[in-house]
């Protein structure tokens, strides 16, 4: 099986403030994680535990102080070159990736402009329609503006935008956290279905263990920047190894 994310002994420390007020916080401590092709690693933990930092390091957006990060067999820092279009992200708020003044079809097509420049206009348009249909939206959605859609529809658009370049690896960071429970459920189901047909590996980050449970094959628990436990989902939910994991499960 091929590995799409291989993170070894990654450390990230943030410093903030000046002079005597200068403080350091270790957002990632010797983090080691792997995501396999076609599989989902769920990362759970309370707010501030280092999940989003882990996501941005995996996306090559933040360079760690130490450790190595390989995505699809290349250093994550190559995001702008060899990995262009091969790695995508779906974030909590669709408005972070959807321009409110642009029609949905334009936003969905946008990643193709850098990743598949040679595709003709007509071919690009066809791809947009096809991907919108795959995320459960009709072709006419392409002509709508984000504010004309519901929260769930907007998040489907974000998923379409992430998928259009056929990435090998996708980072979902709190991708369903802003949605109502019933809409969350639909989007989680959609992610599962799409993974079966598109075979991307995923890092699914959420503070919500119930959401992670719906999509993850493997679970990693983070606290204070550390991975406390990594386990196959089945085993994690029946027999967690760490005391802290047991507490998270009890709260579920
Ligand atoms: N840009 C930043 N500057 C300073 N500290 C940060 C920054 N981003 C995150 N942190 C700190 O790093 C820790 C982990 O944050 P984060 O990765 O966002 O956690 P999570 O996503 O699990 O809530 C927190 O203590 C947070 O305050
Ligand atoms: Mg976060």
Encoded tokens for 33: 């994680």
Q: Is 14 helix (H, G, I), strand (E, B) or coil?
A: strand
Closest to 11 (Cα-Cα) out of 34, 33, 32, 29: 29
**What are the extents of the domains in the chain?**
3-86+167-251, 99-166
Task: Specify the DSSP element, H or E, that contains 157.
Answer: helix 151-163
Q: What are the residues facing 87 on neighbouring strands?
A: 169
Q: Are 148 and 100 in contact, with CB atoms under 8 Å apart?
A: no
- Per residue of the chain (252 residues), what is the pLDDT tens digit? 699 999 999 999 999 888 888 889 999 999 999 999 999 999 999 999 999 999 999 999 999 999 999 999 999 888 777 788 899 999 988 777 789 999 999 999 999 887 767 788 899 999 999 999 999 999 999 999 999 999 999 999 999 999 999 999 999 999 999 999 999 999 999 999 999 999 999 999 999 999 999 999 999 999 999 999 999 999 999 999 999 999 999 988
Task: For residue 13, report the distance from its CA to the centre of ligand 1, in Å.
Answer: 9
Looking at the CA of residue 45, tell me the nearest atom of ligand 1.
22
* CATH 3.40.50.720 describes domain 3-86+167-251: no
Q: 62 CA to middle of ligand 1, Å?
A: 12
């Amino acid at each position: 099986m091929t590995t799409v994310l291989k993170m070894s002994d990654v450390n990230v420390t943030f410093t903030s403030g000046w002079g005597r007020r200068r403080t350091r916080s270790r957002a990632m401590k010797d983090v080691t994680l792997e995501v396999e092709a076609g599989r989902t690693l769920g990362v759970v933990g309370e707010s501030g535990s280092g999940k989003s930092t882990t996501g941005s390091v995996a996306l090559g957006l933040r360079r760690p102080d130490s450790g190595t990060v390989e995505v699809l067999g290349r250093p994550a820092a190559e995001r702008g070159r060899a990995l262009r279009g091969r790695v995508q992200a779906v974030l909590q708020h669709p408005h972070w990736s959807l321009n409110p003044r642009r029609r949905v079809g334009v936003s969905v097509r946008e990643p193709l402009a850098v990743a598949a420049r040679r595709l003709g206009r007509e071919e690009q348009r066809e791809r947009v329609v096809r991907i919108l249909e795959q995320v459960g939206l009709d072709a006419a959605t392409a002509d709508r503006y984000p504010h004309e859609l519901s929260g769930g529809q907007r998040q489907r658009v974000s998923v379409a935008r992430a998928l259009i370049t056929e990435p090998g690896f996708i980072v979902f960071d709190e991708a369903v956290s802003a949605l109502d429970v019933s809409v969350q459920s639909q989007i989680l189901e959609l992610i599962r279905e799409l993974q079966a047909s598109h075979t991307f590996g995923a890092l699914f980050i959420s503070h919500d263990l119930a959401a992670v449970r719906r999509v993850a094959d493997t679970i990693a628990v983070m606290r204070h920047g550390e991975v406390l436990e990594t386990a196959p989902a089945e085993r994690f939910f029946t027999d967690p190894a760490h005391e802290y994991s047991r507490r998270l499960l009890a709260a579920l």
